[in-house]
């Protein structure tokens, strides 16, 4: 199971590294102002919420979930 607080920490870390405020990110993603607060209190976000945040921060959902330590996925699918 994924820990909501760990997800929140990773979101904050990558946003800070990109000089993006959480309010700016939440607004751009059309997410509620309390989204991060809910994560801090143990609520795991829905997959569509994670996808919006990952897209905005230009990182992978796997990174936000803690499944990888690399913010961007370097896996390519050969067609």
Number of domains in the chain: 1
**Segment (H or E) for 6:** helix 4-17
Phi, psi (5° rounding) for residue 8?
Answer: -60, -45
Per-residue confidence in pLDDT tens, the chain, 79 aa: 679 999 999 999 999 999 999 999 999 999 999 999 999 999 999 999 999 999 999 999 999 999 998 888 655 556 6
45 within domain boundaries: yes
Q: Is the alpha carbon torsion for 44, 34, 29, 5 positive or negative? A: negative
Is residue 76 in some structural domain? no
In CATH, what number is assigned to the domain containing residue 35? 1.10.260.40
What is the spatial distance between Cα 5 and Cα 74, in angstroms, rounded to a whole number?
25
pLDDT of residue 1: 64
In a domain, 71, yes or no: no
What's the full length of the chain, in residues?
79
Find where tokens 């913010």 sit.
71
Domain that holds residue 27: 4-63
Residue 37 domain-assigned? yes
Is residue 78, in this structure, part of any structural domain at all? no
pLDDT value for 22: 97
- Quote the pLDDT of residue 76: 58
């Amino acid at each position: 199971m994924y820990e909501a607080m760990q997800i929140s920490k990773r979101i904050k870390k990558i946003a800070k590294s990109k000089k993006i405020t959480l309010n700016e990110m939440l607004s751009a993603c059309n997410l509620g102002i309390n989204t991060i607060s809910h994560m801090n209190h143990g609520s795991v976000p829905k997959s569509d919420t994670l996808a919006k945040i990952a897209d905005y921060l230009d990182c992978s959902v796997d990174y936000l979930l803690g499944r990888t330590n690399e913010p961007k996925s370097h896996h390519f699918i050969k067609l």
